[in-house]
Chains A and B, each alone.
Chain A
Amino acid sequence: MKTYEEINEKIASKKAVVLTAAEIIDYVEEKGIEQAAKEVDVVTTATFGPMCSSGCFLNFGHSQPKIRITEAWIDDVLAYSGIAAVDLYMGATQLRHNDPANLDYPGEFKFGGGHVIEKLIRGEELQLFALSYGTDEYPLKEIRTRFNINDLNQATMVNPRNCYQNYNVAINTSNKTIYTYLGKLKPNMGNMTYSSAGQLSPLLNDPLYQTIGVGTSVWLAGAKGHVYSEGTQHASAVERTANDVPAEGAGTLALTGDMKKMNADFVRGVSFKGYGVSLALGVGIPIPILNEEILRKTTIKDRDIQAQVIDYSLDYPMKTGKVLTSVNYEELKSGSVNILGQDVETSSLSSYEKAITITEILKSEIQDGSFTLNKPYMPLPPNQGMKSMKVSK
Chain B
Amino acid sequence: METKKLLLTFKKKVVEKPIVYHLVKDFDLIINLYRASITEEEEGFMVLDITGSASKIEEGINFIVAEGVKIDDAQKAFRWDEAVCTSCGNCLTHCPVDALHIKDRTTMKVEFDQNVCIDCMGCIPNCPFGACGSIFQDK
Question: Per a CB cutoff under 8 Å, which of B88, B94, B107, B109 touches A348?
Answer: B88
A186 to B94, CA, bound (A): 9
Contact B126 A184 (CB under 8 A): yes
Once A184-B126, A351-B86 are accepted as A-B contacts, the answer to whether A335 and B108 lie under 8 Å apart by CB is: no
Report the contact-size class of chain B (Cβ under 8 Å from the partner). 20 to 34
Determine whether the beta carbon of B92 is less than 8 Å from that of A345: yes
Q: Does A363 contact B (CB under 8 A)?
A: no
Pair A351/B88 contact, Cβ less than 8 Å: yes
Q: Does A346 contact B (CB under 8 A)?
A: yes
User: Contact: A354 with B92, CB < 8 Å?
Assistant: no
Q: State the Cβ distance, A351 to closest chain B Cβ, in Å.
A: 5
User: Quick one: given A50-B128, A280-B129, are A334 and B90 in contact (CB under 8 Å)?
Assistant: no
Chain B residues near A186 (CB, 8 Å)? 93
- Asked whether A273 lies within 8 Å of B129 as measured between CB atoms, the reply is no
Q: Give B16 Cβ to nearest chain A Cβ, in Å.
A: 31
Residues of A within 8 A of B86 (CB): 48, 268, 280, 351, 353-354
- State which residues 101-139 of B face A: CB under 8 Å: 102, 105, 107-110, 125-126, 128-130
- What chain B residues lie within 8 Å of A183 (beta carbons)? 90, 126, 128
A interface bracket (residues with beta carbon within 8 Å of B): 20 to 34
Chain A residues with CB under 8 Å of B107's CB are 352-353, 356
Assess whether A328 is interfacial by the CB under 8 Å rule: no
Q: Max chain B CB contacts within 10 Å: which of A184, A349, A352? A: A352
Instruction: Decide if B87 is an interface residue (CB 8 Å cutoff).
Output: yes
Nearest residue (CB) in B for A108 is B125
Choose from B92, B109, B130 the contact partner of A347 (Cβ within 8 Å). B92
Given that A334-B105, A335-B102 are known contacts, is A349 also in contact with B88, CB under 8 Å in the complex? yes
Contact of B128 among A272, A352, A354, A356 (CB under 8 A): A272
Contacts of A108 in B (CB 8 A): 125
Residue of B nearest to A353 (CB): B87
A346 with B129: CB separation less than 8 A: no
A183 CA / B128 CA spacing, docked (Å): 8
Cβ-neighbour of A351 out of B89, B94, B130 (below 8 A): B89
The verdict on B69 contacting chain A, using a C-beta distance below 8 Å, is no
Using known A-B contacts A272-B128, A334-B105, A353-B109, determine if residue A346 contacts B93 with beta carbons closer than 8 Å.
Answer: yes
Asked whether any CB of chain B lies closer than 8 Å to the CB of A217, the reply is: no
Tell me, yes or no, whether B91 is within 8 Å of chain A by CB. yes
Q: Are B108 and A333 in contact (CB under 8 A)?
A: yes
Q: Is the CB of B87 within 8 A of A191?
A: no
Q: Do B105 and A333 touch across chains, with their CB atoms under 8 A apart?
A: yes
Judge whether B126 and A273 touch: CB under 8 Å.
yes
Q: Is A350 positioned at the interface, with any CB of B under 8 Å from its CB?
A: yes
Contact of A271 among B92, B94, B110, B128 (CB under 8 A): B128
Residues of A within 8 A of B92 (CB): 335, 345, 347
A99 to B: closest C-beta gap in Å: 16
Minimum CB distance partner of A182 in chain B: B90
CA distance A348 to B126 in the complex (A): 11
- A348 and B110 alpha carbons, distance in the complex (Å): 11
**Residues 216 to 240 of chain A near chain B (Cβ within 8 Å):** none
With beta carbons under 8 angstroms apart, the residue of A193, A273, A280, A352 that contacts B108 is A352
Find chain A residues with CB under 8 A from B94 CB. Answer: 184, 191
Question: Could you tell me the distance between the alpha carbons of A349 and B87 in the complex, rounded to whole angstroms?
Answer: 9
User: A347 CA to B108 CA in the complex, in Å?
Assistant: 11
Interchain CA distance A223-B91 in the complex, whole Å:
29
Chain A residues closer than 8 Å to B91, beta-carbon distance: 347
Residue numbers in A under 8 Å from B88 (CB-CB):
49, 280, 348-351
Distance, CA A184 to CA B129, complexed state (A): 14
Q: Which residues of A contact B110 (CB under 8 A)?
A: 353
Most buried by A among B88, B89, B94, B125: B88
Residues of chain A in range 177-209 having any CB-CB distance to chain B below 8 Å: 183-184, 186, 190-191, 193
Q: Tell me if A117 counts as interface (CB < 8 A to partner B).
A: no
Closest partner residue, chain B, to A109 (CB atom): B128
Report B-chain residues with C-beta under 8 Å of the C-beta of A345. 92-93
- In the bound complex, what is the Cα–Cα distance between A356 and B104 (angstroms)? 13
Minimal Cβ-Cβ distance residue in A for B84: A268
Asked if A18 is at the interface of the complex by the 8 Å CB criterion, the answer is no
Other contacts beyond A183-B128, A334-B105, A347-B92: 5, CB < 8 A: A186-B93, A272-B128, A347-B91, A348-B88, A356-B108
Binding site for B on A (CB under 8 A): 48-50, 108, 183-184, 186, 190-191, 193, 268, 270-273, 280, 333-335, 345-354, 356
| 3 shortest interchain CB distances as A-B pairs | A353-B87, A352-B108, A270-B128
26 sampled A-B residue pairs with Cβ under 8 A = A49-B88, A108-B125, A183-B126, A183-B128, A184-B125, A186-B93, A190-B93, A191-B93, A191-B94, A270-B129, A271-B128, A273-B125, A280-B129, A333-B108, A335-B102, A346-B93, A347-B90, A347-B91, A349-B88, A349-B128, A350-B88, A352-B107, A353-B108, A354-B86, A354-B87, A356-B108
